[in-house]
Each structure stands twice: as structure tokens, then as C-alpha cells.
Structure 1
Amino acid sequence: MQHPHPRRSLAGVPVGSIGLGAMPLSIEHRPDESRAVATVHAALDAGVTLIDTADSYHWHAGEAGHNERLIARALARYGGDTSGVLIATKGGRGRPGDGSWTVTGTPDHLKRAARASAARLGVEAIGLYQLHKPDPSVPWAESVGALRELRDAGTIRAAGISNVTTAQIREAHEILGDGLASVQNRYSPAVRDSEPQLRLSAELGLAFLPWSPLGGISRSSLDGPSGPTSTGTAFHTVAAERGVSPQQIALAWLLARSPAVIPLPGASRPASITDSARAAGLVLTEEELTRLSEPLFPQEG
């Protein structure tokens, strides 16, 4: 693996400042296994050392953990050193196979799910285990308490939370202390409503992991065709001036938001993650950042 670019800290581990969102490799319209493995290997070759997965990243009923097993196989087949790779997985969501997503945040479920994830990944302890989404039917403190138990038991090394409010971050931080390492919320040029969570994460020393970070720039395979995309934004203009892809500009903009940010662009082709990883070495000027600060889709009326 190459490390040509600045690194950031996650759970006390230095990682490349761009991660890989592995979800597109296992859900609907996923590539065949050879291309999926090649995508993971291309990420490693490009200096990516954070791979984001979940037990619910699969397509059909009965194949829970598809993405975790795929990542484990890809790492096993990689010719280079993978000792510096941090695999972050998540539990608390399910996919019955009809396209829907469920949420289950009971402590018993989360503890069973984490043990099953560790077995699929072939690790003694999961580097970063994240609660995928709060379960409205379970008190938040109980779900987070399960993460603390998993850490105390050595099943996981660090915990994270995803799709959360600032109040939930504060409560989780009180329960987990330095065991809480990350917050993973949706954040992109098109969707910026997690600014308060980003600020709080930075304040508390937590990594902030934007999912679907290319929203509005390209149709993110993490999220499907939800919401408008554009070709005439400031991101496209700056990209044309720089001679790079708009996706690289979007990721460089996210990195400039805070040293806490480690974006997780999805990819299902080697070329996509190779391009995204180049954003790690792209430093935007203050003038460019000012142009990119405008809302991507101004409100009408």
C-alpha cells in the first residue's frame, strides 16, 4: 500500500484520509466478485486503509454479512501488507431481502451481531464497531451500553455511532468515554444538515465519517438515485479549472471542513476509488473554498 498523503486518526489508529465505503460491492446492482475484489485491492494500492462495511450490506435474504465476508476474502488475497488496515463494521440494521431495511438496537441483538461480524471478518477484535442507526423502540443508553460491554469484553476495540443527533452523541460520549471513536452521518455537498454533529465530533476528539459524501455530485451508489444531481455547480467549475474530477473536489472540500473528517466514498469499480483516493493530496485555496461554501441547490422562492 502506498501512503502518499496525509493521514488522520481514528480510534487511535492512523488511517488514510479517504476511506472506502464498501456497501456498493454487496447490495443491489453489485459487481461480480472478481471486480469487487479488484476494487478493494485498488483502494489498498491507492493508500486507503479504512474500509467501511456492515452486517446488513447484502442484497438477498439469507446472505447477511455478505460484504464482511467479501472484505475478508479480498484482504486475504491481497499480495501486500494489510496489517495497517482498519475495518469498521456496523450492527443494528437488517435487510429481509425485499429491499427494505429494519432497525434492531436491543443489547442482546447488538452483542450477538458483533460476535458474528468478528467471526466473518476473521478477527479476534473488531477495530471499530458502529451502531448503525438508533432504534426508536430501545432506550439509547441501552444500545450504547451494549457497545461498552462489547469493548469491555474485548470483542471490539472501539465504538462508533451512526445516523445520530448531537444529543445522542453527547449521551454516548458520557457512557463510552474514550471508547467512543467516531460518528458516521450523511454529509455531502448536497446534504449539509450534519454540521452541528461535525462540530461536536471535532470538539470531543471524535472522527467524523461522512457517508454518501458525493451526494449531489454524482448519483451515489450508497444511496441510490435520491435527490437531484447537477453538472453546473461550483464543484464542477473548480474541477474543470484544476483538471480533476468533481468527485475529487467534493472530497477535498470535505477534508477541508475539519481535521476530524474522513470521507467514505462508495465504489464498485477500481477506477472510482483510485480517483477518489487522489483527493487526499488535493489542497483547495481559500477562494475555492468560499465558492464551494454556497448551497449546491439554492432554495427557490
Structure 2
Amino acid sequence: MELPTINLGHTNVKMTRIGLGSMPLSINGRPTREEAINVIHRTLDLGITLIDTADAYCLDENDKNYGEVLIYQALQTYQGSANINNIIIATKGGIIRPGGAWETDLNPSRLRQAIRKSYESLGGQKPIPLWQIHNSPQDNKYTLKEIFQPICEAIELKLIQYVGVSNFTVEQIKEVQTYVKIQSVQNVFNIFYHDSENNGVLKYCEDNNLTFIAYSPMGGRRKHKKLKQDKLLLNLGEKYHCSPYCIILAWILSKSKCIVPIPGASKITSIEDSVKALYIHLDQNDIELINNHKFT
């Protein structure tokens, strides 16, 4: 059975309504390489066509690009029925990992090098399907025009096919669109933190045919554990015959036709569970219950 799809932004490229968030496969506490590759292979078997990663999905700067190389190796060793030519690998750049920390670095020269390295890590044979700036500027060190200069160059050099932004406001998105055509916006969206629903970002994506990629849909590792104990989610899970996590993904999917959550997975059972959310349609009363529920 084919999974529901939407177009990536303004393109004719189809992507599934749920993607794989691969960060858990690449950072502290990650599974073995073999186990991680098995998760990616199962993801492909299930029909998911979007895999999100970043050059910063690694342990530290000495381990940089681990996640990208992992995904490339998984695609090269895949022997299932999925067409790997249809897979959208969405990677990101603009964050460095000195000593394992997470620091935004949008130095245009560094971005230029980062894009080239991501291109090589993903095989170096074809443009990166979707390259996203990992974070918006945290200071006034570089203008958005300066930051996006190497990105525009990378498009001309055919290192990048499509461009997206992550953690950007509406105003920043509008400015970026004067420099380059973007197809997606990746911002955090979960039951604890969904500011994009209130600050205009999600609405802007809807009105301008941009795909909204919802990262951290479960709220991160600490919040994730609490969700399976929430009474409302447990009751709804019984009603719809699914896990509390599926209820959350179905709730996120109900927010907009342009939204694509990317739940993380470090186990095969996790991504298998996430896919089930595509076939759960919450009724409006249940959506309102979740909207009004206080999650802690």
C-alpha cells in the first residue's frame, strides 16, 4: 500500500506525509551502525520517502557528517523493493559540534565548505535533494544575503537541488525568498511547543506552497517518556487502537495539509508505529481535547 504523499514545496517531487528523523541514529546513545542501517532499510520498506539528517548529527567535530554517510551507506546496501531514486534526503548545515556542543556558525566560508562536504558524504554523484540552513542567525555577524550567497553558488554548481530553512520566522523567510527559491521550512512542532501555529509560520507555508517539516514531534527524549503516561493520550489510543505517539502524530497531521512530521527512530518498532498515524483520522472533538489539554 502506498503511503499518502504531498509535493515538496513548489516542485513536482512527491514526499510521504511522514518522514524519518535520523538524529537518534547518529548522536550520543546511538545504535550500532548495523542496527541503524536496519532501521533505515525498514523505513524504506514501509514506503517512507523522506529521511532528514544534518552534517551536525554526530558525536563531535571529529565525527562530523556521520549521519549523512550512514544514510548513504544504507541506500547503497538496500536490497528491498523501494525505489531509492525516489528518496528525498534532507540534510542541514550551519551548526558545529566542538567538544560535542551545539553551536550555530553561519560563516559563509564555512557554509561553502559544509555544503561541499555534505555533497561528498552523500555520495558526490548527484545534487543534495534538499539542503536546509540549520538555524537562523543568532547575532548580526552575517546578513542573510551573505549567508545565502554560498547556497546560491551551490545551486549553480549542482551541489544542491532544492533549498529549505530551519528555525526561521516569517520575516526571515520572506527575506530569504528574495535571494533564493525555498521549498520547505523545518521548525519544531509538538504538543508542548507549537508556536509556528500562532506566529504565522505555518499559515505562511500554507499560503505560499511551502512544506512545513515538523521536527521533534514528541518533544525530545525527556518529554517522550512522559507521553505514554498521559491519561488523555492513553484513552485516545484505546479509542483509535494505537499508541499515544500515533495520536500525537495524527494531531500534528491534522493541523495542515502542508505539514510533514519527522519522528525520530532508533528502533525498527518505532518507525513501524509512526507510519500507522497516517491512517488515523481524529475527529474534531478529540482534536480540541488535545488542543486544550495541559501537557507537562
Report if TM-score (shorter chain) is over 0.5: yes
Instruction: Tell me the equivalent position of 1:275.
Output: 273
Change (3 A) 1:234 1:226: closer
The residue type paired with residue 249 of structure 2 is L
1:33 aligned to 2:22?
Answer: no
Change (3 A) 1:239 1:227: closer
How far did 1:290 drift? 1.9
Residues in 2 aligned to 1:236 and 1:79: alpha-carbon distance in whole angstroms: 37
Contact 2:240 2:280 (C-alpha < 8 Å) held by counterparts: no
1:110-189 alignment to 2 at 5 Å? Answer: 110-122=111-123, 123-135=125-137, 136=139, 137-176=141-180, 179-189=181-191
Instruction: Tell me the equivalent position of 2:243.
Output: 245
Contact 2:130 2:160 (C-alpha < 8 Å) held by counterparts: yes
How far did 1:22 drift? 0.5
Tell me the SS of whatever aligns to 1:280. Answer: helix
The residue type paired with residue 225 of structure 1 is R
The residue type paired with residue 24 of structure 2 is P
1:105 aligned to 2:114?
Answer: no
Deviates more, 1:22-31 or 1:106-115: 106-115
- Which consecutive residues of structure 1, in runs of 5 or more, have no partner in the other structure? none
Tell me the SS of whatever aligns to 1:90. Answer: strand
Tell me the SS of whatever aligns to 1:161. Answer: strand
1:281-300 alignment to 2 at 5 Å? Answer: 281-297=279-295
Contact 1:190 1:295 (C-alpha < 8 Å) held by counterparts: no
The residue type paired with residue 207 of structure 2 is E
How far did 1:148 drift? 2.3
Tell me the SS of whatever aligns to 1:15. Answer: strand
1:68 aligned to 2:68?
Answer: yes
Q: Normalization by structure 1: what TM-score?
A: 0.90
How far did 1:94 drift? 0.9
RMSD: 1.8
Change (3 A) 1:156 1:251: same
Change (3 A) 1:233 1:257: farther
Give the count of matched residue pairs: 286
Instruction: Please point out which of 181, 197, 210 is paired with 1:206.
Output: 210
How far did 1:108 drift? 1.8
Residues in 2 aligned to 1:127 and 1:19: alpha-carbon distance in whole angstroms: 14
Instruction: Tell me the equivalent position of 2:84.
Output: 82
Contact 1:160 1:184 (C-alpha < 8 Å) held by counterparts: yes
1:194 aligned to 2:196?
Answer: yes
Describe the superposition over 1:240-284 as per-residue Cα deviations: whole angstroms up to 9, x where unpaired.
Answer: 211101111111111111111010100000110111012112222
How far did 1:149 drift? 2.4
The residue type paired with residue 184 of structure 1 is Q
Contact 2:20 2:50 (C-alpha < 8 Å) held by counterparts: yes
Name the one with the larger helix percent.
Answer: 2
Change (3 A) 1:228 1:43: closer
Describe the superposition over 1:189-215 as per-residue Cα deviations: whole angstroms up to 9, x where unpaired.
Answer: 111112121111111110000110112
The residue type paired with residue 67 of structure 1 is G
Residues in 2 aligned to 1:198 and 1:162: alpha-carbon distance in whole angstroms: 13
Question: What percent identity do the matched residue pairs reach?
Answer: 34
Residues in 2 aligned to 1:141 and 1:226: alpha-carbon distance in whole angstroms: 37
Residues in 2 aligned to 1:79 and 1:228: alpha-carbon distance in whole angstroms: 34
The residue type paired with residue 142 of structure 1 is E
Residues in 2 aligned to 1:27 and 1:37: alpha-carbon distance in whole angstroms: 14
Residues in 2 aligned to 1:237 and 1:57: alpha-carbon distance in whole angstroms: 35
Residues in 1 aligned to 2:36 and 2:225: alpha-carbon distance in whole angstroms: 27
Instruction: Tell me the equivalent position of 1:229.
Output: 226
